[in-house]
Amino acid sequence: LTARVGFWLELPDLSRGFLTTLAIRAVGGLQLRQTADFVLAIGDRAQRFYQGSAPDVPVHLVPYGQDLSHHLAIERGEPHAPITFLFSGQLLPRNNIRQLVAAFDTLATTHPGQWRFIVAAGGPEEPAIRELMARSPAANGAIVFDREYETWLDRIRPFRDADVLICPSLHAGWALVVPEAMAAGMSVIATRFVNAARFYVRPDVSGLFVTPDAASIYRALRRFVEDPAAIGRMGAEARVASHDGTAEAIAARLCAALRI
């Protein structure tokens, strides 16, 4: 019996400059060509990257699977009043927090009192959010932090309390929060650098894709504030799409890739 060696890999962070990307591709490709019988790629961009780095190694699209039952159990009615946005993850530069803050700064001017923003996150970019709250009374009254959880299931609370997930990252190897939010019946705003969004979201059907600049993010935020009916319509479609990421669905992909 001969063992086969495979790797389950996200796309590396390619937002760190040309030379770093070149080094990652060269060294990683060499390692795969020397050691891998196959690669399970977490997202379509990862699949293309590893196909280019190691052309002779079979690369299969097998992303993460999750138990989404608790998110699917969240009951959805009319959108919250006011419309509530959620960022869940880490407040890191690669998650494009400063452009997100700039978008909310504009929204606080054009639509004061018509939105709420839950931050279920912490990290070094938090001062940018605090600075916005300090200078803008409208933003200060709309932004809340929800990140203290006594149990694992407590972390589902922000998904229940929000309508739209925002994931404006410059790089996300996957982003587990995307299928979680969609299973919870939420619409999604994301860039195409978010690999989970590329897998699940259909533009204008279950969410919106934006470019990572503040103006594009703002337009998506404004769209949902001005058209709350779109939240329910897209959220229902998002919930259906999330079933492609259950543990059972991904297990079937894995078995197919491994020919079990």
Mean residue pLDDT across the chain? 95
What pLDDT is stored for residue 215 in this prediction?
98
Q: What residue type is assigned to position 129 of the chain?
A: I
> How far is residue 59's CA from residue 224's CA, in Å, rounded to a whole number?
38
Is the pTM value of this prediction over 0.85? yes
Percent of the chain with pLDDT over 90: 86
What pLDDT is stored for residue 145 in this prediction?
98
What pLDDT is stored for residue 1 in this prediction?
58
Tens-place pLDDT, residues 164-183: 999 999 999 999 999 999 99
Q: What residue type is assigned to position 221 of the chain?
A: L
C-alpha dist (Å) from residue 179 to 91, 127, 193, 206: 19, 28, 15, 11
Q: What is the Cα Rg of the chain in Å?
A: 19
Quote the tokens at residue 238: 């998002």
Q: What is the mean pLDDT of residues 88-96?
A: 96
Categorize the per-residue pLDDT at 22 as very low, low, confident or very high, splitting at 50, 70 and 90. confident
What pLDDT is stored for residue 26 in this prediction?
85
Q: What is the mean pLDDT of residues 103-132?
A: 98
Q: What is the 3-state secondary structure (H, E, C) of the chain?
A: CCCCCEEEEECCCCCCCHHHHHHHHHHHHHHHHHHCCEEEEECHHHHHHHHHHCCCCCEEECCCCECCHHHHCCCCCCCCCCEEEEEEEECCHHHCHHHHHHHHHHHHHHCCCCEEEEEEEECCCHHHHHHHHHHCHHHHCCEEECCCCCCHHHHHHHHHHCCEEEECCCCECCCCHHHHHHHCCCEEEEECCEHHHHHHCCECCCEEEECCCHHHHHHHHHHHHHCCHHHHHHHHHHHHHHHHHEHHHHHHHHHHHHCC
What pLDDT is stored for residue 45 in this prediction?
96
Q: What is the mean pLDDT of residues 120-147?
A: 98
Q: What is the mean pLDDT of residues 105-123?
A: 98
Categorize the per-residue pLDDT at 23 as very low, low, confident or very high, splitting at 50, 70 and 90. confident
> How far is residue 212's CA from residue 169's CA, in Å, rounded to a whole number?
7
Alpha-carbon dihedral angle through residues 66, 144, 86, 214, given to the nearest 10 degrees: -140
What pLDDT is stored for residue 260 in this prediction?
52
